[in-house]
Chains A and B, each alone.
Chain A
Amino acid sequence: MATAGSKNFDEMLNADGSVRPAYEEFRQWFDGQDTTWLRRQDAEAERFFRRIGITFNVYGDDAGEERLIPFDMIPRIITAREWRKLTRGIEQRVRAINAFLQDLYHRQEIIRSGRLPIEALRNNEAFLSQMIGFTPPGGVYTHIVGIDLVRTGPDDFMVLEDNARTPSGVSYMLENRETMMAMFPELFTKVPVRPVSDYPRRLARSLRACAPAAYKGGKRPVVAVLTPGIYNSAYFEHAFLADQMGAELVEGSDLRVMDGRVCMRTTTGYKAIDVIYRRVDDDYLDPLTFNPNSVLGVAGIFDVYRSGGVTIANAPGTGIADDKAIYSYMPEIVEFYTGEKPILQNVPTWRCSEADSLGYVLDNLADLVVKEVHGSGGYGMLIGPTSSKKEIAEFEQKLRAKPGNYIAQPTLSLSTVPIFTKEGLAPRHVDLRPFVLVSPDGIDITPGGLTRVALKKGSLVVNSSQGGGTKDSWVLDE
């Protein structure tokens, strides 16, 4: 069973209990602090988050019920050398994802070449036929990507998941750093940490670089963030990013299509928007093209998009690239479009749609993690080693009924980083989501990202909806 024990790779401590170089300066500082004071700071952090309103809503709870994502004040530290390798791998992967999308919605060379079976597209809701033959402004499909990484050893980072639709969490990356700097300013004079605070400015620049054909120059392109509204779980982040970018925060009800443009209702009339950073799912974007019951989107926006009146970021239909059924083909996809071996490895994945794989998965359910192909947020998955016989049996039924809905992966012994507890430092499992910006000018990766941590001892689930917390993630300067 995978618990935080000796066989996990701990990022702070060597097997003999000595401190790894990445954490040396931090540990020295930490050991010199008064524990009572640290505890007080810890409590202070929570008040700080509540006051500035960094909260999220959990689906299914009473509307308006807001929770905090717990923040742990021990940073997760990545060395300059580790980061260099990661950025090369991430850049390669993101380049491949965009080339893959361009290909899928045009000539589909990868399918013709036999590297990806047509079944992977057929009946896949993430593939949008409306996007066929259309190239988004600047040729960019995924303006913002979050790559979820896990670590199993000193040099072993693997991609657990790509997020090519509307990855969230970047506001936590930024606020966690703010909080750390407010709580422990002197720490940052001792440890050379690369800054993350210019992410919103880079995001705005990236988005403006993808202005649509209808933008005729002159003033800077008008950027707006489209949110489903204040009851959305990530509303804080939508408001935060709009604020930091100096963009309008709009809802579907503010928008309407006029004269071939998407316009927002301002106090002095309707005003055209050039680039929409949407935090609304594809399906809700346009009731005329997709879900007719959607009230979150804008009727007719898709036609405007296709005729060059507006840029939508990320482009509709990018979900096909982060679909869990496609994920297992990512090594082939990277190689097909870059001509290089993937720098970052995939987690070995069994596609339950294939009879041999299904047989293996059914025989080894107790050791595997089984995920729904279209699921997210850690829901609808089975973690074999921590599940009861009954839970496994129940899951087996579902799996047998619809094997094509599932993929399986080995239970990884995820790396641990200590968290601050009442009893002192204690190791907990973590993952890392770096944020990647894509524009015609290139690929831009903010040093660090969001570290999510499973706060329960031994737990491997880091999702905030299931008791996960976050940490500030440091990339050390050269």
Chain B
Amino acid sequence: MLGRGANGVYWMSRYLERAENTARLIDVGFHLALTRGSRQSQDEEWKSVLTTTGQLEAYCETHSEFTGPQVFNFLLREKDNPGSVLAMVENARTNARVVRTSLTNAVWETTNEGWMNLRELLARPVRETSLGEVLREIRRTGTLVRGALEGTMLRNEVFNFSRIGTFIERADNTARILDVKYYVLLPSAAWVGSSLDNVQWDTLLRSVAGNRAYSWLNAGSMDPRGIAKFLILDGQFPRSLVFCYDKIRSNMAGLAKEYGVEVPAHELLRDAGARLHQTSIEEIFETGLHEFLQDFIGKTIEISSAIAADYRFSE
């Protein structure tokens, strides 16, 4: 396939994944702000959502307040925000158009329909009463496109590049969310077991759709180490760092098999994957969670750049 085509499916998947993750962060922020009494702590909550999506700075350039509707409208639809969900879905759809010939009708149509629905839902400012519906539709679009890919695409290079995009983005997102909230997980003798802790931990898990899964696995008991281990090292949880890297490796292996040759990115990924598997949660806390995550985020960027270069995404 064309290098430009690989770039197209890769970014289509990344943007859809990012849109979905942003929707989840807004959802959590909204719920949390509702449970906070004071205006000030509500604002803090929204500020934290902006930090996690990396858009605090851009937001502050044009806004001075942090009320819920202002923040979530900025994140969802504001025209001047190139990182809004609407812009991401538009980017995903534009990329899908670029690679239209590599996609099945089902994948193209679900992407196109999702964009059409969201464009309509986001044509006017979103109010708190309709926020739930909008966020559901964003998540639904991601889910439908993934389902269409899974159900209709040949397991070939196109599929593999799409999957690699999804999991690179997801790994990056999970790591960033953890990094912004890492202090929540730092063991603190004074805090452990307090109700504030529980709420914070729950929020963290919700942000990556892991609250139910974690409860099942741990029978309802919460502790920072367990949560960090779950989000970083659990091989079953589909948003954990280990899971994402395993998926990237298996899709990269698919490419090597189809092309009959490995590229430098394979080597890079193999090393990074092995290190991730060999590390333990004790070791991570010893070096420092923040340092570990920063290192992981940097590695992921390095891997994604290598993939883009090795497979000639651009000239």
Contact = CB atoms under 8 A, between A and B. Distances in A.
Given A50-B116, A52-B109, A265 B4 contact: yes
B100 A266 contact: no
B100 A52 contact: no
A265 B315 contact: yes
A308 B195 CA distance: 78
Nearest to A242: B101
B313 to A, nearest CB: 8
A401 B94 CA distance: 45
Interface string A246-277: 00111101100000000011111100000000
Most B CB contacts (10 A, CB to CB) among A250, A264, A268, A269 go to A268
B291 interface: no
B140 interface: no
Contact of A267 (B94, B109, B259): B259
B2 A230 contact: no
A51 B97 contact: no
Nearest to B310: A267
SS class of chain B's interface: helix, strand, loop or mixed? helix
B112 interface: yes
B13 to A, nearest CB: 16
A265 B1 CA distance: 8
Which of B4, B105, B108 counts the most A-chain CB atoms under 10 A from its CB?
Answer: B4
A266 B315 contact: no
B276 to A, nearest CB: 26
B94, B101, B105, B116, most chain A CB atoms within 10 A = B101
A254 B94 contact: no
B80 interface: no
Contact of B312 (A50, A242, A243, A267): A267
A267 B101 contact: no
A213 B4 CA distance: 28
Contact of B100 (A50, A249, A251, A269): A249
Given A235-B97, A239-B97, A51 B113 contact: yes
Given A51-B113, A53-B108, A253-B4, A266 B312 contact: yes
Interface string B1-44: 11110100000000000000000000000000000000000000
B76 to A, nearest CB: 19
B292 interface: no
A230 B6 contact: no
Contact of B4 (A53, A239, A242, A254): A254
A397 to B, nearest CB: 43
Nearest to B101: A243
Contact of B2 (A52, A53, A243, A254): A254
Contacts of A235: 97
B97 A52 contact: no
B98 interface: yes
Contacts of B109: 51-53
Contacts of A239: 97, 100-101
B259 A268 contact: yes
A277 to B, nearest CB: 13
Contacts of A248: 1-2, 101
Interface string B160-194: 01000000000000000000000000000000000
A239 B5 CA distance: 12
Interface string B242-276: 00000000000001000101000000000000000
B200 to A, nearest CB: 42
Given A52-B109, A53-B97, A235-B97, A267 B116 contact: no
Nearest to A244: B101
Contacts of A242: 101
Contacts of B100: 53, 239, 243, 249
Interface string A49-79: 0111100000000001000000000000000
Interface residues of A, number: 22
B94 A230 contact: yes
Contact of B3 (A64, A243, A265): A265
Contacts of A268: 259, 261, 311
Interface string A231-243: 0000100010011
Nearest to A239: B100
A266 B1 contact: yes
A264 B116 CA distance: 33
Interface string B85-105: 000000000100110110001
Interface centre among A230, A235, A249, A250 (most CB of B within 10 A): A249
Contact of B6 (A50, A51, A251, A267): A267
A267 B2 contact: yes
A269 B310 CA distance: 10
B157 interface: yes
Best-buried of A53, A230, A249, A250 by chain B (most CB within 10 Å): A53
Contacts of A53: 97, 100, 108-109, 112
Given A50-B116, A52-B105, A266 B2 contact: yes
Contact of A265 (B2, B94, B255): B2
A249 B8 CA distance: 13
B209 to A, nearest CB: 28
Contacts of A264: 2
Contacts of A253: 4, 315
Interface in A35-56: 50-53
A141 to B, nearest CB: 27
Nearest to B255: A267
A364 to B, nearest CB: 48
Contacts of B1: 248, 266-267
Given A251-B4, A265-B3, A230 B101 contact: no
A254 B97 contact: no
Nearest to B312: A265
Nearest to B99: A249
Contacts of B116: 50-51
B293 to A, nearest CB: 31
30 contacts: A51-B109, A52-B109, A53-B108, A53-B109, A64-B94, A230-B97, A230-B98, A235-B97, A239-B100, A239-B101, A242-B101, A243-B100, A248-B101, A249-B101, A253-B315, A254-B3, A254-B4, A264-B2, A265-B2, A265-B3, A265-B4, A265-B315, A266-B3, A267-B1, A267-B2, A267-B157, A267-B161, A267-B255, A267-B312, A268-B311
Given A230-B94, A230-B98, A248-B2, 19 more contacts: A51-B112, A51-B116, A52-B105, A53-B100, A53-B109, A230-B97, A235-B97, A249-B101, A251-B4, A253-B315, A254-B4, A264-B2, A265-B3, A266-B3, A267-B1, A267-B157, A267-B311, A268-B261, A268-B311
